[in-house]
Chains A and B, each alone.
Chain A
Amino acid sequence: MAKSESGIKKQLETGLKKQKQKKYVLHLYVAGLSPRSQKAIENIKKVCDEYLKGRYELAIQDIYQNPILAKNGQILGAPTLIKEFPLPLRRFVGDMSNIERLLVGLNLRSKE
C-alpha cells in the first residue's frame, strides 16, 4: 500500500518537474499605452518572474502601431495574452488582474 502511494507521488513529482521545465512562449497584445495596457504588462511580468523565472519568452506588441498583428493574431479584446506554447493555445483577455484565473489557465496552478 505504502509503496504504491509513494509511486504515485513520484510520478506526480516527475510530472510536475516536467511541467516546470517547459518553456513558455507568451505574446501580449495591447492597444497603446493606456493605463489598462500598463496594468496588464505589470501583472503578466509579475507572474512570469514569480512562476516562470528563466523559462519564458514574453513579447509585447502594440496593435495600434502594427494593426496587421491584430488580424493575424485574431485579436479582438485588448489586452490579449496568447499562450503560444506549451500547447494548447490559450487566450487571456483582460488586464490580467485576476491572477488566480491566469495561473490556472497557464497551467501553473491546478483548479481547486
Chain B
Amino acid sequence: MAKPNNMATVATSDLPKALTGIQGLDEITFGGLPKGRPTLICGGPGCGKTLLAMEFLCRGALQYNEPGVFMAFEEKEQDLVENFSSLGFDLKSLVKHKKLAIDYVYIERSEIEETGEYDLEGLFVRLAAAIDSIGAKRVVLDTIEALFSGFSNTSILRAELRRLFRWLKDKGVTAIITGEKGEKLLTKHGLEEYVADCVISLDNRVNEQIATRRLKIIKYRGSRHGTNEYPFLISDNGISVFPMTSLLLASAVSSERISSGIKSLDEMLGNKGYFKGSAILVSGSAGSGKTSFGAQFVDYVCRNGQRALCFAFEESEGQLSRNMKSIGINLKRWIDKGLLKIAANRATLCGLEMHLVMAHTAVKEFKPDVVVIDPITTLIGSGLADDAKAMIARLIDFLKNDGITILATDLNLMADKGDAAEIGISSLCDTWMKLSMETQGYKRMRRITIIKSRGMKHGHETKDLIITDNGLEIKDIPGLREDVR
C-alpha cells in the first residue's frame, strides 16, 4: 500500500470506508470506497474495469481480511485465473483458502425463451450462497449489464436491479459494479441511476499516438474526493493511481547543504554548494558538458555513500558509463555497489504520465538521495508543452517532497535565448546554471554562469568550465575577459 501522504491524514469523514489497497486510489477517495454500499465503475472496453474490481477483491482478501465474491458475467473462471496470474494475483489459491469465490454467470440469448412473469431470484440465490460460503464482505458484479443482453423484458430487469442494489446494501457488503461506457449515459443501460453513492469513470485516451489511462471520481456521496483526472498505470503489481496534481507546496525545507562535486563551483555557491532537497537546473547547448556535469555530481554523491538515481533519456547505461570513463568518472563501480541506478529509456517510449509513473515507481524502489534527469526537456517531445510543464512540475514537487535533491539538465538549442527557458521550468528550480560555448579565436570554450540560486549568495562571474581527464574543473577566465561582467 502506498504510504499515506499529507492528503490522507487530513481526511476526516464520518462515512465508513473500505480501503481498496490500490495504490493511490485510497488517497484520492480519502480512505477508500463507501463501506457497505455499491460503487459503480464505468468505462470503455479495455480500460481496466475488471482489473480494478478484481484487485479490490484480492487486496481486500489479502490485506484487510475481507473475503470477496466475484460474479463474472463476461469471463470464465479459468480465463480470470489465467489473466490475473500475469499481474501477480493467484486467484486459485485465494479460492482454495476461501478468500475468494468466483461465480461465472452464463447468459446466452439464443437459449432463453421468456414465457411469462419472472424475477431474477436465481441470481440472488447464487450471490447469497457465494457470500455465505466464505463470509464475504466484498462483492464484484462484472458486468451486470450483460443481463440486458440475455433478457428482453427491461422493466422486469430494472425492477430487479433496483432490488439487487438494495439487497446488497442490506447485506452490508462493499460492492463494485462495473458498466460499459454508454453513448449518452455513463453506462449503456444507465446503471448510475441505481448506484448513486459512488461513481468512478476510467478511460484510455490517445493523444498524439501516446495512450494514457485516466481515472476520475464522478461522484462520491457524503464524502469529499479529488476531482481531477488522475493518470493510472497497469503494472506488474496491478493498478497504480497517481494523485500528484494534488500536491501542495508544502515540502519540508532543509538548510543542509550538498556539494556540487566541483570544489570551485561550491565556492561560487556561497562556498557550500546546493541546498539539500533543492532542484537544480543546468541549461546549455549541445556539447556544453551538461551530462558530464551531472555525472560529476553523481560520482560525488556515490563517493559519499549516498544513493543516486539517474534518468537518462539520451544514452543507455553502458554508453553513459563508457563515455564518462573518458573523463575519469567511473560510474560502473557505483552501479556495481548498488549506489547508482541508471534508468535509461527514450522519452517517446510512452506518455508523460507513464514517465511520471515510472519515475515514481523507480524512486520508491530505489530510495535515492539524488535524482538526475538528463535531459528534462526531451520529455516535451512526448507530449504537449503545457502538459510537459505540468508533468515536470509534478515530478519536481514529488521529489522535493521526499527531500530528494534533483539535478535536471535542459538542452537549450538556442544558447542565447536568455532567461526564457523553453517552458519556464527554470522557475520551478532553485538553482539555475547556464553552460555555454563561446568562440575565442579558433577555439570554442565552455563557460558556466550561475543565473540564480535561491537563498544563498552566489558568484555572478562567468567562468571557464574545463573537462579534464579527471572530471570537470571551473577556473577563472584567463586574461582580459575576467572583469567583463
- The reply to whether B126 and A75 contact each other, CB–CB distance below 8 Å, is yes
Task: Check A27 for interface membership: any CB of B closer than 8 A.
Answer: no
- The reply to whether A31 and B113 contact each other, CB–CB distance below 8 Å, is no
Write the nearest CB–CB distance from B116 to chain A, whole angstroms: 3
- The reply to whether A70 and B115 contact each other, CB–CB distance below 8 Å, is no
Per-residue A-contact encoding for B199-228, CB less than 8 Å = 1, 0 else = 000000000000000000000000000000
Choose, from B55-63, B102-110, B404-412, the stretch at the interface.
Answer: B102-110
| Contact partners of B130 in chain A: CB under 8 A | 71
| Contact partners of A75 in chain B: CB under 8 A | 122, 125-126
Contact among A29, A40, A76, A91 with B105 in the assembled complex (CB-CB below 8 Å): A76
- The reply to whether B121 and A31 contact each other, CB–CB distance below 8 Å, is yes
Task: Check A96 for interface membership: any CB of B closer than 8 A.
Answer: yes
- The interface centre, meaning the residue of B115, B122, B150 with most chain A CB atoms within 10 A of its CB, is B115
Task: Check B183 for interface membership: any CB of A closer than 8 A.
Answer: no
The B interface, classified by DSSP as helix, strand, loop or mixed, is mixed
| Contact partners of B105 in chain A: CB under 8 A | 74, 76
| Contact partners of A71 in chain B: CB under 8 A | 103, 126, 129-130
Known: A76-B107, A89-B111, A90-B111. A63 touches B118 (CB 8 A): no
| Contact partners of A79 in chain B: CB under 8 A | 118
A94 to B125, CA, bound (A): 17
Task: Check A26 for interface membership: any CB of B closer than 8 A.
Answer: no
Write the nearest CB–CB distance from A50 to chain B, whole angstroms: 16
Per-residue A-contact encoding for B109-137, CB less than 8 Å = 1, 0 else = 00111111111111101101110000000
Number of A-B contacts (CB under 8 A): 100
Q: Which residue of B lies closest to A98 (CB)?
A: B115
Contact among A67, A74, A78, A105 with B118 in the assembled complex (CB-CB below 8 Å): A78
| Contact partners of B147 in chain A: CB under 8 A | 76
- The reply to whether A63 and B115 contact each other, CB–CB distance below 8 Å, is no
Task: Check B165 for interface membership: any CB of A closer than 8 A.
Answer: no
| Contact partners of B113 in chain A: CB under 8 A | 90-93, 101-102, 105
Task: Check A15 for interface membership: any CB of B closer than 8 A.
Answer: no
- The reply to whether B122 and A36 contact each other, CB–CB distance below 8 Å, is no
- The interface centre, meaning the residue of A76, A89, A94 with most chain B CB atoms within 10 A of its CB, is A76
- The reply to whether A93 and B151 contact each other, CB–CB distance below 8 Å, is yes
A80 to B121, CA, bound (A): 10
Contact among B117, B121, B151 with A95 in the assembled complex (CB-CB below 8 Å): B117
| Contact partners of B122 in chain A: CB under 8 A | 29, 31, 63, 70, 75-78, 80
Write the nearest CB–CB distance from A90 to chain B, whole angstroms: 6
Per-residue A-contact encoding for B409-441, CB less than 8 Å = 1, 0 else = 000000000000000000000000000000000
- The reply to whether A63 and B121 contact each other, CB–CB distance below 8 Å, is yes
| Contact partners of B112 in chain A: CB under 8 A | 77, 91-93
Write the nearest CB–CB distance from A58 to chain B, whole angstroms: 15
Contact among A67, A91, A92 with B125 in the assembled complex (CB-CB below 8 Å): A67
Task: Check A11 for interface membership: any CB of B closer than 8 A.
Answer: no
Task: Check A19 for interface membership: any CB of B closer than 8 A.
Answer: no
- The reply to whether B117 and A68 contact each other, CB–CB distance below 8 Å, is no
Task: Check A21 for interface membership: any CB of B closer than 8 A.
Answer: no
A89 to B103, CA, bound (A): 21
Known: A78-B120, A94-B117, A97-B116. A67 touches B151 (CB 8 A): no
Known: A70-B129, A77-B151. A94 touches B111 (CB 8 A): no
29 contacts between A and B (CB under 8 A): A29-B122, A31-B122, A31-B125, A36-B119, A39-B116, A40-B116, A63-B121, A63-B125, A64-B125, A68-B129, A70-B126, A71-B103, A71-B126, A71-B129, A74-B106, A75-B126, A76-B105, A77-B120, A78-B118, A78-B120, A78-B122, A78-B125, A88-B111, A91-B112, A93-B113, A94-B115, A94-B117, A102-B113, A105-B113
- Further 9 A-B residue pairs, CB within 8 A, beyond A76-B126, A90-B113: A70-B125, A76-B107, A77-B119, A79-B118, A91-B113, A93-B151, A96-B115, A97-B115, A97-B116
B residues lining the A interface (CB < 8 Å): 103, 105-107, 111-123, 125-126, 128-130, 147, 150-151
